[in-house]
A and B are shown apart, each in its own frame.
Chain A
Amino acid sequence: MDLTTILAAGVASGTILLFAAIGEIFAERSGVLNLGVEGMMLMGAVAAFSIALSTGNPWLGVVAAMLAGGLLSMIHGVMTIHLRADQVVSGLALTFLGTGLARVLGEGLSSAGDVAQLPQLTIPVASSIPVLGRIFFTDQSVLVYVGYVLVPVAWLWIARTRPGLHLRAVGEAPAAADAQGIGVIGTRYAYVFVGGLLAGLAGATITLAIYPGWFGDQTVNGRGWIAIGLVIFAQWSPLRAAFGAVLFGAIFRFVLDIQGVDQILGVENPFRAGHSATFFLDMLPYLMVILVVVIGSREAVRKRVGAPAALGRPYVRGERGA
């Protein structure tokens, strides 16, 4: 149980949270809150697993997962963008739907045998870097490397490109964007869809890479919600989201590892596997999310930045004023 191993596992496990969080950042930046991440991830997970199982090709599984997430997100999109439904309730409904559907479709999958998984890679030169090489570039799933690329791409897109400027305008002041001929509706659908694609990808990352297998409801286990909390902590920035994802990934790993240790500092470890005290360890990630969200909220107040101003409100052309 050394720090390098924990961090390496943290990066791996964190990739799941990263995809989901960045997807949600895109959606929320356009002004649409999508709380259905947990449901989309679960659907992505089961789609990835079952397609990989039946075709033997994990990449097809990834595609299936992304499509599943994308399709589900569109239900939420139509509800909130065109039908102007309350974004919170619609997102919750999406979670129920996704969870239920995944349970239905995942019937009988648990006992499935070895499923084709995505390859693990070690990058030749980079993995020789002391410490960092061991953590980031040694024996990580190919999806983890995809994550490394996604973070700077997402950041650049939002902060330094014209489409990113338009995205930010749509989320901050849709009336202003509309007045300049930017399609608010189209933009929101597009980014909600992207959010769905990435949530599906996150699900595939679980079942085909990091924790291979299908464990029913336990597969995602609240990670979708953690990702949503991460977005607040990240102040809607992909860079901070990456930091948070690794942090939480490491915490999850740490919680697992410490249960395998017999002694801590010479004293018997109360959190050894098999002892009921391990349940307190299980609480740790979820308590951390609360802490992290509190920090994020206070910082937002202090720095006078915060959520995209139009987050959560349907856009209606012709409604003037705040």
Chain B
Amino acid sequence: MIHLRLEPRADAPRLFTAAVTLGALVFAFVLSGLIIWLVGGDPIKSFGHILVAAFGSIGVISDTLVKATPLILTGLACSLAFRMRLWNIGAEGQFLLGAWGASAIVLAPILPAGTPAIIVIPAMMLAGAVAGGLWGFIPGVLRARLGVNEIITTLMLNYVALFWIEFWVFGPWSKGGFPVTEPFPPEAWLPRLTDFASAFPVLGGLTVHLGLIFGILAATIMWIALERTRWGYELRLIGDSPRAARYAGIDIDRKIIVVFVISGALAGLGGMSEVAGVVHGLQDQISPGYGFTAIIIAYLARFGPFRVIVASILFGALILAGREIQPSGVPAMIQGIVLFSLVGSDVLIRYRIRFDRRMAIA
């Protein structure tokens, strides 16, 4: 009888990790294609459609980037928390709260109509980040002070956030009884490439907006913070061994709260960028599950800020094109398969597989 034995691997060269990750992705897509075929769809057509619909022209690339923007911010939010083994499953709710906070600036209204964009936009950014940060603070403090499992709390808060948005969108801010609000005035719109079409006609129709810059900036700052600052060092240390971190004199409780707040703020900023850059209003369907996709993105990117950007573009493509794929549950299913493939491929990275033969009796 042959035993399978897993032997911890001493090191994993970068290239190997990347190759295995890529392999897992390919496997996931192949498996998804198989399932699509089994259910009666056409996998080649579906995947081909994704490629064309997402990368087929400058216009659709721009659309892909638009879809990627909220993913980058929520993906960064999740990456940061996951690095410290804080399972922030609440990026979805924090995103929604951020969207709400930013909308409140315009719709409550907190700033009077006619306030110039140079004030409104930063105010919306601040509101979005604060609202999202608050939504991260709650599970953070519960975890830090009371040891309450953050997976449950963040998840529950997702539902609460959704109902919160629905209240405002069906109630006080509702336009004509429909679950949409008044559209934002132009001062509350994030500038888009297409806004400059009069000067540069080639930019016409490209709806990529300033939110993308937020995402790239955030990724850069996060990378610097994690790799080059004392704060980042502490975070990495806690993530690897909380007991060693305590021994080194680090205040873990405080770190937990701070990381949760920043994570929530990033997701909240993502919400702000979506309402101000794309929808220009608030709706209850503002997020097709960005916060959940962000979890997979964070994992795929192995928590690296710049890799998050790449993964976000990939999944942005999936979301963009996925709406037109039949059957409609396919993108969600693909996400599950991708995550499983990644999790499974982790084994290859962390361990060597050995075969043990049973000893023969003399």
Interface residues of A (CB under 8 A from B): 35, 39, 75, 79, 82-86, 88-90, 92-107, 222, 225, 228-229, 232, 275-277, 279-280, 282-283, 286-287, 289-290, 293-294, 297-298, 301, 316
Residues of A within 8 A of B149 (CB): 232, 293, 297
Contact A229 B156 (CB under 8 A): yes
Selected from B35, B146, B344, the residue in CB contact (under 8 A) with A104 is B35
For chain B, give the interface size range: 35 or more
Say how far A308's CB is from chain B's closest CB, in angstroms: 14
Q: Chain B 310-343 against A: per-residue CB contact (8 Å), 1 yes, 0 no? A: 0000000000000000011111111111011001
Q: Tell me whether A79 and B336 are in contact in the complex, defined as CB-CB below 8 angstroms, given that A103-B328, A280-B163 are known contacts.
A: no
Interface flag for B159 (CB, 8 Å): yes
Besides A89-B339, A96-B335, A106-B329, 17 new A-B residue pairs in contact (Cβ under 8 A), listed by A number: A35-B151, A79-B340, A82-B4, A86-B343, A92-B295, A94-B336, A94-B340, A97-B333, A100-B331, A102-B329, A103-B328, A104-B35, A276-B171, A276-B172, A282-B163, A286-B160, A294-B142
Selected from A35, A96, A100, A279, the residue in CB contact (under 8 A) with B166 is A279
**Chain A at the B interface: mostly helix, strand, loop or mixed?**
helix
Say how far B14's CB is from chain A's closest CB, in angstroms: 21
Contact B6 A104 (CB under 8 A): no
Interface flag for B12 (CB, 8 Å): no
Interface flag for B155 (CB, 8 Å): yes
Minimum CB distance partner of B142 in chain A: A294
Contact B292 A96 (CB under 8 A): yes
Which B residues from 140 to 168 make CB contacts under 8 A with A? 142, 146-149, 151-153, 155-157, 159-160, 163-164, 166-168
Selected from B6, B39, B164, B296, the residue in CB contact (under 8 A) with A96 is B296
Q: Chain B 28-66 against A: per-residue CB contact (8 Å), 1 yes, 0 no? A: 000000010001000000000000000000000000000
Contact A100 B333 (CB under 8 A): yes
Interface residues of B (CB under 8 A from A): 4, 6, 35, 39, 87, 89, 142, 146-149, 151-153, 155-157, 159-160, 163-164, 166-168, 170-172, 174, 292, 295-296, 299, 327-337, 339-340, 343-344, 346-347, 350-351
Residues of A within 8 A of B296 (CB): 96
Residues of B within 8 A of A92 (CB): 89, 295, 339
Contact A293 B39 (CB under 8 A): no
Residues of A within 8 A of B330 (CB): 100, 104
Q: In the bound complex, what is the Cα–Cα distance between A106 and B155 (angstroms)? A: 24
Residues of B within 8 A of A103 (CB): 327-329, 332-333
Minimum CB distance partner of A76 in chain B: B340
